[in-house]
């Protein structure tokens, strides 16, 4: 049963930009293991969410797809990197003025740490710069088969002109930003990473 979007929900959701065209909260989806707290370090840089049509490539016998609301107020827009590893993300952090070219060199040489630790450091830097998530136009899921073959040099507007079905996907950087859209007790506690579901960690 869909939980009531009460005052507690709106306090948690705030000015989230993850909305439908009419301004209502958008339901997005994540495919992973069942659980009630997202372990951000087990996700690809952060945990990814998208519209239902984008999830067909992530089916797995031991994974489940579930609906969520996201509280993301000020996301950093990036292109679809396909693989969101620390080095790839770092270049777009540089373009946004968050880190320097010299810092990217340190990442490349492995001076920050292993991939998991470096990703955490970069997530912290993104948040310290005033961003609370990442958004990207998904060029690989939820589009016709020919769309992923288009040039990476196309801008998002140019890509969407050729593939109008393409939609944004979202990355949370903090587990408290995601709440289950149906299996939820209605408390919408902004300080609690519990999504309102099962007693294990999803990935």
Residues 76-120: tens digit of each pLDDT: 999 999 999 999 999 999 999 999 999 999 999 999 999 999 999
* pLDDT class of 143 with cuts at 50, 70, 90: very high
Residue 84 within any structural domain of the chain: yes
Whether 187 is in a domain gets the answer no
Q: Is 55 inside any structural domain?
A: yes
For residues 184 and 140, what is the distance between their CA atoms, to the nearest angstrom? 31
Cα–Cα distance between 17 and 53 in angstroms, integer? 20
Q: Is position 197 within any domain?
A: no
Cα–Cα distance between 131 and 59 in angstroms, integer?
30
**What's the pLDDT score for residue 151?**
87
- For the whole model, what pTM was predicted? 0.90
* 25 assigned to some structural domain: yes
pLDDT digits (tens, 9 = 90+) for 177-190: 999 998 888 889 98
What own/partner pairs with CB < 8 Å and gap ≥ 24 does 93-96 have? 93/122, 93/125, 93/126, 96/129
Domain residues for the domain of 69 are: 7-180
DSSP result, 79-100: ---SS--HHHHHHHHHHTTSS-
Residue 188 belongs to a domain: no
Number of domains in the chain: 1
- What stretch of H or E contains 64? strand 64-70
The answer to the question of residue 199 being in a domain is no
Percent of the chain with pLDDT over 90: 71
Dihedral sign computed on CA atoms, order 178, 74, 189, 9: negative
Report the C-alpha gap between 125 and 127 in whole angstroms.
Answer: 5
Name the residue with tokens 């107020």: 73
């Amino acid at each position: 049963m869909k939980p009531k979007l009460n005052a507690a929900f709106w306090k948690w959701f705030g000015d989230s930009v993850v909305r439908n065209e009419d301004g209502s909260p958008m339901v997005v989806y994540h495919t992973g293991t069942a659980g009630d707290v997202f372990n951000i370090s087990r996700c690809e840089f952060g945990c990814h969410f998208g519209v239902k049509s984008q999830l067909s490539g992530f089916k797995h016998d031991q994974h489940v797809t579930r609906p969520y609301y996201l509280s993301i107020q000020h996301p950093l827009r990036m292109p679809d990197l396909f693989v969101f590893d620390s080095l790839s993300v770092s270049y777009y952090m540089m373009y946004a003025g968050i880190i320097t070219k010299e810092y990217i060199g340190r990442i490349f040489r492995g001076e920050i740490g292993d991939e998991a630790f470096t990703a955490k450091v970069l997530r912290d830097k993104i948040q310290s710069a005033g961003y609370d998530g990442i958004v990207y136009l998904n060029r690989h899921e939820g589009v016709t088969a020919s769309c992923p073959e288009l040039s990476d040099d196309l801008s998002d507007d140019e890509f969407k002109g050729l593939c109008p079905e393409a939609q944004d996907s979202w990355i949370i950087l903090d587990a408290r930003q995601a709440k289950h859209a149906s299996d939820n007790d209605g408390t919408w506690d902004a300080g609690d990473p519990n999504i309102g579901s099962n007693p294990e960690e999803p990935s």
